[in-house]
Structure 1
Amino acid sequence: MTVLVRTVAVGRPREVPGPRDGDLTSTAIWKEPVEGPVEVGPENLAGDEQADRVSHGGPDKSVYVYGEEDLAWWRGELGALDDQVFGQNLTTVGYDLRDAVVGERWRVGTAEFLVVQPRTPCFKLGMRAGDRSMPRRFTAAVRPGVYLRVTTTGTLAAGDELHVLDRPAHGVTMAEAFAIVHHDRDRAARLLEAPDLPAGWHAWARERLAHHR
């Protein structure tokens, strides 16, 4: 089946009311779809930024992808849903992203990417959704989407095909990695089989194993 990028969206940080009364927090989770070609830089799309570069930016979180299949599931749970509520840069159609493997190589337009990790939700997802329980519900759903590392800069646009160029044999998927960290921690050793996971994931797995010897 052909996999397509349905939407490309970008956003810049804005100040919004924080989780406590009177607080303000900076976030770029509000992203708007854009038309036409978008440049893919080394660590983000043109016009896109992250408010918190420690938690949300950097090469291993350059582009966030969420699937129409996941959005459809959430509509079944919640009813009408803003398509951009998860703050994704790319919305794909035709690929269950839960099955994407750590270390997969993708080409979209003239840019190439590496699938590196699933998303771990924070309180800003609850703010964007207008529901403080949303991070907890997101964790329970095990539909984390995909963070990409840019391996070849270029351009992409809504309507482009997503080509999976390579899938590593270890088979550690986005859903499996996410579930291990949040629900099935006794399987931490499995994460060490996926060399393209960021170092922090491997450090967590080794610490978990060390504490349970």
Structure 2
Amino acid sequence: MASLVSVNVGTPRQISTRRGQAMLSAIVKEPVLGRVRVAGVNLAGDDQADRSVHGGPDKAVYAYAREDIDWWEEISGAELPNGVFGENLTTLGVDVSGSIIGERWALGSVVLEVCQPRLPCSKLGIRFGDLRMVKAFAKASRPGAYMRIIQEGDLGVGDEVTIVSRPDHGITLAMTADAVLKDPALVPKVLLAPQLSIELRQELSQAA
């Protein structure tokens, strides 16, 4: 059974770059217990530091697979907790990066729709204490899922993750991330996904 193994939230806080400069970010997420309300453009207790590049309707919730965190553990040799990638939802038994753009998940009383992959920025490197992580994340094609909220409600650890619908166009999050980061030849195909986030569609349309 696919399930939710951790719900993680965080608010903007100061993080330090390698040069000791302060930066405001909400990438540090902590697991929370109990039922969590999902409404508007956030989980209760969660926020973003810069809404121009993070958050909003098409990036309301970020999900990452525990299996992918385990893969990163193997190649890094470090123990990595749930929430380490700044994800709100840590799942088990879901091929998150293989999800189809427009796929809908039901968790608790919430329904979410997959709409774009995560594209790494310097804050991910700062979170891991290694700026090479930005390039490594792009290369790995394990981007996780940004999701829009279709039905507000609540969710919690242990909830089953059910795929309630899946478009037949076959355009995955991994393919979409690769179109942006590795293979521009994929861009025309990715643009065929009608549920792709507005922001990423505009970016890719300009590049096409």
Percent identical pairs in the alignment equals 43
Cα deviation code 1:134-178 (max 9, x no counterpart): 111100111000011011110000100011000001110011111
Contact 1:42–1:151 at 8 Å: present in 2 too?
Answer: no
Aligned length: 207
Give the aligned partner of residue 78 of structure 1.
76
Stretches of structure 1 lacking an aligned partner (at least 5 in a row):
none
Counterparts of 2:34 and 2:177, CA distance in 1: 33
Contact 2:18–2:129 at 8 Å: present in 1 too?
Answer: no
TM-score (norm 1): 0.93
Pairing partner for 2:64 from 58, 63, 66: 66
- Give the deviation of 1:41 after TM superposition: 1.1
Q: Cα 1:174–1:187, aligned 2, differ >3 Å: closer, same or farther?
A: same
Give the aligned partner of residue 26 of structure 1.
24
Give the aligned partner of residue 42 of structure 1.
40
Counterparts of 2:156 and 2:193, CA distance in 1: 30
- Give the deviation of 1:19 after TM superposition: 5.1
What amino acid maps onto 1:107 in structure 2?
A
- Structure with the greater alpha carbon radius of gyration: 1
SS of the equivalent of 1:196 reads coil
Stretches of structure 2 lacking an aligned partner (at least 5 in a row):
none
Contact 2:116–2:196 at 8 Å: present in 1 too?
Answer: yes
Give the aligned partner of residue 151 of structure 1.
150
Counterparts of 1:24 and 1:184, CA distance in 2: 34
Give the aligned partner of residue 54 of structure 2.
56
SS of the equivalent of 1:98 reads coil
What amino acid maps onto 1:58 in structure 2?
G
Contact 1:30–1:87 at 8 Å: present in 2 too?
Answer: yes
What amino acid maps onto 2:155 in structure 1?
L
TM-score (norm 2): 0.96
